[in-house]
Structure 1
Amino acid sequence: MGDVLEYLVDGTSGLAPGGVEGSAIVAGVCSKGQVGKGYLLGKSSDLTGLLGVGPLVERARDMLATGGQAPTLIAVPCSGEARGHFTAVVATGGNGTYPDVTVSGVPQKNCDIVVKVESAGQIGMATVKISQDGGEKFGSALTAEQQLVIEGSGATLLFPEDAQLEAGWQWAFTARLPIGPVSRVGDEASPLPTVAGTVLAGADISIQIVKGGGRNEGTYQLSTDGGENYGKTRTIPVDGAVPLADLGVTVTFPEGAYVGGTTYACNLLAPEASIVDVMAALEGPLALYDIEFVLVAGPTDSVDWAAMQAKAEELWNLHRPTYFKAETRLPYDNEDLNDFTAWLSAEKQDIAARFVQVCPQYGRITGSDGVTGRRNAAGLQAGRSMSIPVQRATGRVRDGNISQLSLPDGWEAVQPVLEEAGFLTAKKYAGLDGAYWGDSRTLADDTSDYRYEEVIRTVFKAVRKARVAALKSMYDEAGDPAQGASKATGLAFLKSGIEAALDTMKGANPQELADYVVNIPDGQDIVNNGVVVEITLIGIPIIREIKLYFSYIYAGSRLDPRGLSQAA
């Protein structure tokens, strides 16, 4: 009694926590690191030392390159392996109407398969011939069974049981292993090198013979980016073996006389992780780190997108709103952009996922080290997202072009179709150099308010901030609801707390929200039903199209808007 007592009054400084914008996880396959462990990366991180090589390292490097000055990036290695593939079956030789033929199996060798109908008839009666070298040579005629096994290739061609085949019809597709075939441009007398091993990272190997000769005599240059950049000229080793440790393969020059000027090429398919492996690896990091989005590095399809949407909804229910970014495969060897677009459109038809973005954009990407590679560009877009405010579109022209990316030839013809379908793409503008991101679409259906990434980012940030502010009112006295929310002390504190949190977005520079309305309806049965708070977020519009109307008139005429006349 009779003393001065001190008390700390907390929560009055105006701090409004809850934002996680600019932070992300990237998950994928790499050659080093512990699966399922989160590696916090920065601009100066030694990516190769930590994670080795692979799709995860490439995307992390792209994100750091475009992620601004202080991105928060967490890399998560996933289990995976290099896999081959079969391309889609292409039918020719008829009037355009063919049975629905598909291919099943696992590739066992690199080959270009052609199945040609020799004699017409129903399945089980018609005969076919098979070529595994693109139609150069065909084997003997055999009966066309419903399941037609392509010997040695690992492929089985599946025909409808009631299919009627016509003579001259052909079905063609390609089987590719993780290590593709070695091709040669130049003198056929120059021996053909071999490539073997377990692929750790995708690459386009190119070898040029600089000086002709045999082992320990001839010289060569080697490129891993399709010939964009070659290394030093080296002598063909005595044993012919050239290990490419970073890629996991060895190039072997067989005995023989190599001819100067000959060029060899071989494509390595990057390792891939299944969606099961990705989700298993993400379990720990997602429980540990609160981030804005997850980028999954590597090819995905509609089944994977559905799984990502399910995971995003699970995180939403855990009060941690998070969205996903995904990539697609690159076009196969025998696909043009029309085939690629048709495949993407078919994948999109059966799914709507408002918390998932899918980027099929690819091209030649040049890193800060000068190395160029043909790969998906999702990492570049993800980094751009990390570097800008939540309300801003990644395609804002004022922020500059995508300097690292060169678009594939003919992309402008398919880009509008893919963008309209809901994919994330890049485009060019007449009068400007370079490529720019287009609409930052999600896979939401056309009636959804969440078709664009900037909307999701803005709403998710507001949700996080409003929730943290509202938690301060848990188990507080509501006051007398009969007096209205503005006079009931507990309800008024709840309302003002949420408003203060959203004020940080409204007052940000640049503004993240144009305004908001927080309403606590009167007459609520708080004892039995809790408190309902209605929050309306008023967003910043994005200029997606500009229409310029020009008129031409003569100076001094009656239509001159300056008010001049010929008499004057």
Structure 2
Amino acid sequence: MSLNDVKIKIADGGLGISSAGGDGIHVKIGVSKAEKNKLIVINSSMKVNEIKDVLGHSPLADAVMDSIGTGASTIYCIPTQGTEAGSIGDVIHSGTGEATYTVSGTPKNSYEIIIEVLKDGGLNGATYRYSIDGGNSFTGEKTIPTDGEVTIENTGIKITFTEAADPENSFKIGDVYSFKTTAPKMSNQEVLDAISTTEDAVFEFEYIHIVGESDAPMWAAVATQADILFSTYFKPVFIICEARNKKKEESISEYVESLITARNSVNNYRLQVVAARAEIVSLDGKIRNSNGAGDVAGLYSKSNVSQSIGEVSEFPLNNVIKLLPEGIEPYISILDQAKFVTFRRYIGLEGFYVTNGRMFAPDGSDYQYAETVRTINKAVREIRKQALFNIQMQLDPINIEGSINLLKEFLQIPLENMTDDKEIASGEVIIPKGQNVLGTSKLKVKVKAVPMAIMREIEIEFGMENPFK
């Protein structure tokens, strides 16, 4: 037992200085070789090979690289296994070589594989090279081995060749073997299970990106989960999903109509669905036909919460080569009005840009755009943290107004910080008078904020002037 003394303790939190929040921090959920539902932290200082060593050559790794490429610094990854295996399409052979072939394996990702013969001959004589990104990049020259097994490295795929009756006729210069694969997919339950692992997360984050194509049932399920994260676990977040790609047999108009039909079944301002697709140059140098959600998630990390990621001067999409599917550009305004996130071009400018950070908010909602949702979510996070310091604090019932004014000033600090940072134009904490705190032990507080305005369109009127008139 220690001797009696004057004991000193340094109190913290009294100044109301906000701790670092979750601005720009996000969670990614996607198929990967890594352990299921185990949290993995990826940061922008990691090299491409380090990312792939951890996450594999997977859809999750691709999305992480896209986000880092457009501005993400820290990403919390939650891997899943994918209940639906990837598939291998039919092989198309062009050329005069007479070798036969079979393709086997389970694809780890979506690929456009091209195998090109560079030298005539049979097994252990003919040479080849291959591409996994549709011919944008190739390996060096390799010899077709004696057993005929050509392994497409890191893809999970192998093609096995059998010589023709005359081995020298097996492979001819210019022979091309091409086929496409699909990536493994997550089930709705897999995604919901992964989201549930964030319920007790001690780190703060702003949004969750669900990697891979999804549809209306998935959108509705994750939107409900976002509501639960807010109402039960006090986590104000939104969720980014990826719309599906166009099917081969669909026309562009049929594809767009199908997306809009799916969208009309879901309304929730905590949900964002990216319909933008493009040829995207990844950090690893590969060119992919990819949904643009990875880029979008990265731009949120780079921007202020009140800033539109469609701001032309700040956020060009430098890794986008062209928009997909072919012929989509005349339909971009339709998808934008339907509240999908799309990419676009501006006449007179080079490059591509985000059209709008649309949310699946119901008509009339204040939260039609991500920048408004991000701003209110930040205000909620910061004021809640500030209010927690006052839980079970005494209020003087004789001087209730004085006590409440002190609390009001304390709660006002996050709004003042956000105003100083130009994240809101102004904000006010309102504590209604006449509350029976002594009897109910409850204090009701209202918060109002004026958001920053966004110029989404500029109208310029030109005219002639006669200086002699």
Normalised TM-score (structure 1): 0.76
Q: Whole-Å Cα distance in 1 between the matches of residues 124 and 13 of structure 2?
A: 76
* 1:313 maps onto 2:314 in alignment: no
Q: Whole-Å Cα distance in 2 between the matches of residues 501 and 357 of structure 1?
A: 26
Preserved contact between residue 82 and residue 200 of structure 1 (Cα < 8 Å)? no
Q: Describe the shift of the 1:400–1:476 C-alpha distance in structure 2 as closer, same or farther (beyond 3 A).
A: closer
Runs of 4+ in 1 over 6 A off after TM superposition: none
Letter in 1 for 2:189: V
Letter in 2 for 1:197: G
Query: Displacement of 1:6 after TM fit?
Result: 5.4
1:290 corresponds to: 204
Question: Match of 2:428, SS?
Answer: strand
Preserved contact between residue 473 and residue 493 of structure 1 (Cα < 8 Å)? no
- CA deviations 1:294-347 (Å, max 9, x no partner) are 101011111001111111111111211111001122212222322221210111
Preserved contact between residue 505 and residue 513 of structure 1 (Cα < 8 Å)? yes
1:563 corresponds to: none
Letter in 1 for 2:145: P
Q: Whole-Å Cα distance in 2 between the matches of residues 438 and 427 of structure 1?
A: 6
Preserved contact between residue 302 and residue 347 of structure 1 (Cα < 8 Å)? yes
Instruction: Write the mapping of 1:130-149 to structure 2, written as runs, cut at 5 A.
Output: none
Q: Whole-Å Cα distance in 2 between the matches of residues 310 and 400 of structure 1?
A: 31
State which of 429, 434, 446 in structure 1 corresponds to 2:363: 446
Q: Describe the shift of the 1:4–1:303 C-alpha distance in structure 2 as closer, same or farther (beyond 3 A).
A: closer
State which of 390, 412, 434 in structure 2 corresponds to 1:523: 434
1:173 corresponds to: none
Instruction: Write the mapping of 1:384-463 to structure 2, written as runs, cut at 5 A.
Output: 384-405=299-320, 406-408=322-324, 409-463=326-380
Q: Whole-Å Cα distance in 1 between the matches of residues 83 and 13 of structure 2?
A: 51
Preserved contact between residue 358 and residue 442 of structure 1 (Cα < 8 Å)? yes
2:255 corresponds to: 340
Preserved contact between residue 79 and residue 278 of structure 1 (Cα < 8 Å)? no
Q: Describe the shift of the 1:254–1:7 C-alpha distance in structure 2 as closer, same or farther (beyond 3 A).
A: closer
* 1:202 maps onto 2:110 in alignment: yes
* 1:505 maps onto 2:418 in alignment: yes
Which range is displaced more, 73-82 or 306-315? 73-82
Preserved contact between residue 54 and residue 271 of structure 1 (Cα < 8 Å)? no
Question: Match of 1:517, SS?
Answer: strand
Which range is displaced more, 349-358 or 15-24? 15-24
Preserved contact between residue 16 and residue 386 of structure 2 (Cα < 8 Å)? no
Q: Whole-Å Cα distance in 1 between the matches of residues 345 and 12 of structure 2?
A: 53
2:402 corresponds to: 489
State which of 176, 192, 198 in structure 2 corresponds to 1:279: 192
Question: Match of 2:349, SS?
Answer: coil
Which range is displaced more, 8-17 or 323-332? 8-17
Question: Match of 1:253, SS?
Answer: strand
Q: Describe the shift of the 1:6–1:12 C-alpha distance in structure 2 as closer, same or farther (beyond 3 A).
A: same
2:17 corresponds to: 15
Q: Whole-Å Cα distance in 1 between the matches of residues 432 and 365 of structure 2?
A: 26
- CA deviations 1:228-272 (Å, max 9, x no partner) are 111111222221111124111101222132222122210010011
State which of 434, 442, 454 in structure 2 corresponds to 1:542: 454
Preserved contact between residue 424 and residue 440 of structure 1 (Cα < 8 Å)? yes
Q: Describe the shift of the 1:286–1:191 C-alpha distance in structure 2 as closer, same or farther (beyond 3 A).
A: farther
- CA deviations 1:376-416 (Å, max 9, x no partner) are 11011101101111001111111141111121232211111
- CA deviations 1:20-49 (Å, max 9, x no partner) are 11111101101x211010001112331111
1:51 corresponds to: 55
Question: Match of 1:398, SS?
Answer: coil
Question: Match of 1:265, SS?
Answer: strand
Q: Whole-Å Cα distance in 2 between the matches of residues 361 and 476 of structure 1?
A: 50
Q: Whole-Å Cα distance in 2 between the matches of residues 24 and 11 of structure 1?
A: 26
Which range is displaced more, 471-480 or 273-282? 471-480
Letter in 2 for 1:235: T
2:119 corresponds to: 211
Matched-pair identity in %: 29
Query: Displacement of 1:529 after TM fit?
Result: 7.0
Runs of at least 5 residues in structure 2 that lack an aligned partner in the other structure: 165-169
1:241 corresponds to: 149
Query: Displacement of 1:273 after TM fit?
Result: 0.6
Q: Whole-Å Cα distance in 1 between the matches of residues 349 and 34 of structure 2?
A: 42
Letter in 1 for 2:428: V
Preserved contact between residue 83 and residue 187 of structure 2 (Cα < 8 Å)? no
Preserved contact between residue 37 and residue 285 of structure 1 (Cα < 8 Å)? no
Q: Whole-Å Cα distance in 1 between the matches of residues 288 and 299 of structure 2?
A: 20
Letter in 2 for 1:253: F
Q: Whole-Å Cα distance in 1 between the matches of residues 387 and 15 of structure 2?
A: 16
Preserved contact between residue 341 and residue 358 of structure 2 (Cα < 8 Å)? yes
Q: Describe the shift of the 1:346–1:425 C-alpha distance in structure 2 as closer, same or farther (beyond 3 A).
A: same
- CA deviations 1:203-233 (Å, max 9, x no partner) are 1101112223222222211000001111111
Q: Whole-Å Cα distance in 1 between the matches of residues 199 and 387 of structure 2?
A: 24
2:389 corresponds to: 472
Query: Displacement of 1:478 after TM fit?
Result: 2.7
Q: Whole-Å Cα distance in 1 between the matches of residues 394 and 16 of structure 2?
A: 22
Question: Match of 2:373, SS?
Answer: helix
State which of 77, 81, 93 in structure 2 corresponds to 1:184: 93
- CA deviations 1:344-393 (Å, max 9, x no partner) are 01111211021011112112111223211111110111011011110011
Letter in 2 for 1:518: V
2:245 corresponds to: 330
Preserved contact between residue 201 and residue 246 of structure 1 (Cα < 8 Å)? no
Q: Whole-Å Cα distance in 2 between the matches of residues 490 and 430 of structure 1?
A: 59
Query: Displacement of 1:501 after TM fit?
Result: 1.7
Which range is displaced more, 221-230 or 243-252? 243-252
Runs of at least 5 residues in structure 1 that lack an aligned partner in the other structure: 85-177, 559-568
Preserved contact between residue 184 and residue 192 of structure 1 (Cα < 8 Å)? no
Question: Match of 2:313, SS?
Answer: helix
Query: Displacement of 1:541 after TM fit?
Result: 0.6
- CA deviations 1:447-503 (Å, max 9, x no partner) are 11111111111000000111111222222233348x7x7xx2321122111111211
The structure having more radius of gyration, on CA atoms, is: 1
Query: Displacement of 1:520 after TM fit?
Result: 1.2
1:28 corresponds to: 30
2:181 corresponds to: 268
Question: Match of 1:207, SS?
Answer: strand
Q: Whole-Å Cα distance in 2 between the matches of residues 19 and 363 of structure 1?
A: 32
Q: Whole-Å Cα distance in 1 between the matches of residues 54 and 85 of structure 2?
A: 24
Q: Whole-Å Cα distance in 2 between the matches of residues 18 and 49 of structure 1?
A: 30
Question: Match of 1:333, SS?
Answer: coil
Preserved contact between residue 359 and residue 424 of structure 1 (Cα < 8 Å)? yes
Normalised TM-score (structure 2): 0.92
Preserved contact between residue 59 and residue 109 of structure 2 (Cα < 8 Å)? yes
- CA deviations 1:29-80 (Å, max 9, x no partner) are 01x2110100011123311111212111111111122225xx2211111121
Q: Whole-Å Cα distance in 1 between the matches of residues 45 and 128 of structure 2?
A: 34
